[in-house]
């Protein structure tokens, strides 16, 4: 049992087709631009200013608007206009399917009820898998960080799907992990397929697939893991804790990283593809 986004759930049930899923996802992304994109569109920020704010977000667990105000790039009135525009344009995935004629309103209600039940069962199974595990607190922190981090840096929601099995580990073409030495050592890793790697790198670096070669994509995954580790350290270690961070490495496979010690690997869903999150 694994938690799934509504689109993936409907696809696997045969309720919608792959082209219908992609069309709805494209419409949803268009209806929910990031705040920085809106600010550039409205002429309130330049692209360079928006990038500067995004770069600070990688180091600070704060909202785009709060950082922009602190930097003196947006005022409160401008931020209110952007937030209102973002809220009014945002559309739910199910509503888009109805608008596009893929589902009727009655069909959507039936599918939403089935999806909620599926999510409840999957989340219960995940909670049982984490409960009592020696890394439970760190794993929970890492999941929460991913939930906050991915929408801000990658423009994608992130969802813990369940405990990763051997097949999920084997499906990872590239894995990056970071380790810190401390009284409570921590390891954080992310593994994914080549296609997910490129999509994630393009989103993180705001570049096109033509601009993203394999080396750059792998570097981007290492950067993402580094940022993730920084948030997990802040959430789990005492403020006065002493630790030494190692640079990201991609020399081990996901299965090898899991085998390095006490670890817990989770399957994670994003709109760029699936990940395996490894916590040790």
Q: Are residues 98 and 141 both part of a single domain? A: no
pTM: 0.83
Mean of per-residue pLDDT scores for the chain: 92
Q: What pLDDT does residue 32 have? A: 81
For the segment 34-42, the average pLDDT, to the nearest whole number, is: 89
Q: Are residues 139 and 250 both part of a single domain? A: yes
Q: What pLDDT does residue 271 have? A: 87
Q: Are residues 53 and 149 both part of a single domain? A: no
- Distance from chain centroid for Cα 115: 20
Q: Are residues 145 and 219 both part of a single domain? A: yes
Q: Are residues 163 and 250 both part of a single domain? A: yes
Of the candidates 43, 39, 62, the residue with the CA atom closest to the CA atom of residue 51: 39
Q: What pLDDT does residue 40 have? A: 93
Residue 128 lies in a domain: no
Q: Are residues 35 and 150 both part of a single domain? A: no
pLDDT band at 133 (very low <50, low <70, confident <90, very high): confident
Indicate whether 193 pLDDT > 80. Answer: yes
CB 23 within 8 A of CB 30: no
Q: What pLDDT does residue 119 have? A: 92
Q: Are residues 20 and 154 both part of a single domain? A: no
Residue 82 lies in a domain: yes
| DSSP letter assigned to residue 260 | T
Angle of helix 214-236 versus helix 47-59 axis, rounded to 10 = 50
For the segment 136-160, the average pLDDT, to the nearest whole number, is: 90
pLDDT in tens, 229-280: 999 998 888 888 888 989 999 999 999 999 988 999 999 999 899 999 999 9
Q: Are residues 197 and 265 both part of a single domain? A: yes
Phi, psi of 26 (to 5 degrees): -60, -40
Helices (H), the chain: 6-13, 18-31, 35-41, 47-59, 64-70, 76-89, 93-99, 105-130, 136-154, 166-170, 194-205, 214-236, 254-258
Distance between CA atoms of 216 and 264, rounded to whole angstroms? 28
Residue 271 lies in a domain: yes
Residue 161 lies in a domain: yes
Q: For residue 186, what are the domain limits?
A: 135-279
Indicate whether 128 pLDDT > 80. Answer: yes
Indicate the pairing of strand 264-270 with strand 243-245: unpaired
Q: Are residues 83 and 203 both part of a single domain? A: no
Residue 112 lies in a domain: no
> What share of the chain in percent tops pLDDT 70?
100
Residue 127 lies in a domain: no
Q: What pLDDT does residue 188 have? A: 97
Q: Are residues 222 and 261 both part of a single domain? A: yes
Residue 111 lies in a domain: no
Q: Kindly report the CATH number assigned to the domain that includes residue 168.
A: 3.40.1550.10
Distance between CA atoms of 225 and 227, rounded to whole angstroms? 5
pLDDT band at 7 (very low <50, low <70, confident <90, very high): very high
Q: Are residues 144 and 19 both part of a single domain? A: no
Indicate whether 72 pLDDT > 80. Answer: yes
Indicate whether 151 pLDDT > 90. Answer: no
**CB under 8 Å, gap of 24 or more: what pairs does 194-200 form?**
195/273, 196/270, 196/272, 196/273, 196/274, 196/275, 197/173, 197/221, 199/272, 199/273, 200/154, 200/224, 200/270, 200/272, 200/273
Q: In b/e form, how buried is each residue of 21-52, taking b as 16+ CB within 10 angstroms? A: bebbeebbeebbbbbbbbbbeeebbeeebbeb
| DSSP letter assigned to residue 49 | H
Q: How many domains, in total, are found in the chain? A: 2
For the segment 69-96, the average pLDDT, to the nearest whole number, is: 91
pLDDT band at 1 (very low <50, low <70, confident <90, very high): low
Dihedral angle sign, alpha carbons of residues 245, 249, 254, 257: negative
CB 180 within 8 A of CB 245: yes
pLDDT in tens, 201-235: 999 888 899 999 999 999 999 999 999 999 999 88
Q: What pLDDT does residue 149 have? A: 87
For the segment 69-92, the average pLDDT, to the nearest whole number, is: 91
Residue 66 lies in a domain: yes
Indicate whether 78 pLDDT > 90. Answer: yes
> What share of the chain in percent tops pLDDT 90?
70
Q: Are residues 29 and 98 both part of a single domain? A: yes
């Amino acid at each position: 049992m694994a938690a799934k986004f509504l689109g993936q759930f409907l696809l696997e049930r045969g309720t919608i087709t792959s082209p219908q899923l992609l069309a709805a996802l494209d419409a949803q992304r268009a209806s929910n631009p990031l705040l920085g994109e809106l600010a550039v569109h409205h002429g309130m920020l330049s692209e360079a200013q928006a990038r500067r704010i995004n770069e600070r977000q990688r180091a600070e667990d704060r909202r785009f608007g709060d950082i922009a105000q602190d930097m003196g790039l947006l005022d409160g009135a401008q931020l209110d206009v952007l937030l209102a525009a973002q809220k009014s344009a945002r559309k739910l995935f199910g509503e888009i399917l109805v608008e596009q004629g893929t589902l009727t309103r009655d069909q959507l209600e039936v599918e939403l009820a089935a999806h909620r039940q599926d999510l409840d069962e999957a989340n219960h199974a995940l909670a049982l898998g984490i409960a009592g595990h020696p890394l439970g607190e760190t794993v929970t922190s890492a999941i929460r960080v991913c939930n906050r981090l991915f929408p801000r840096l990658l423009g994608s929601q992130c969802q813990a799907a369940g405990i990763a099995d051997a097949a999920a580990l084997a499906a990872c073409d590239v894995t990056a992990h970071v380790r810190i030495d401390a009284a409570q050592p921590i390891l954080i890793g992310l593994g994914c397929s080549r296609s997910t790697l490129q999509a994630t790198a393009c989103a993180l670096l705001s570049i096109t697939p033509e601009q993203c070669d394999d080396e750059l994509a792998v570097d981007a995954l290492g950067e993402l893991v580094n940022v993730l580790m920084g948030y997990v350290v802040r959430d789990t270690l005492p403020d006065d804790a002493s630790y030494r961070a190692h640079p990201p490495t991609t020399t081990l496979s996901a299965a090898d990283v899991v085998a390095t010690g006490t670890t817990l690997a989770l399957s994670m869903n994003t709109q760029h593809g699936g990940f395996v999150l490894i916590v040790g």
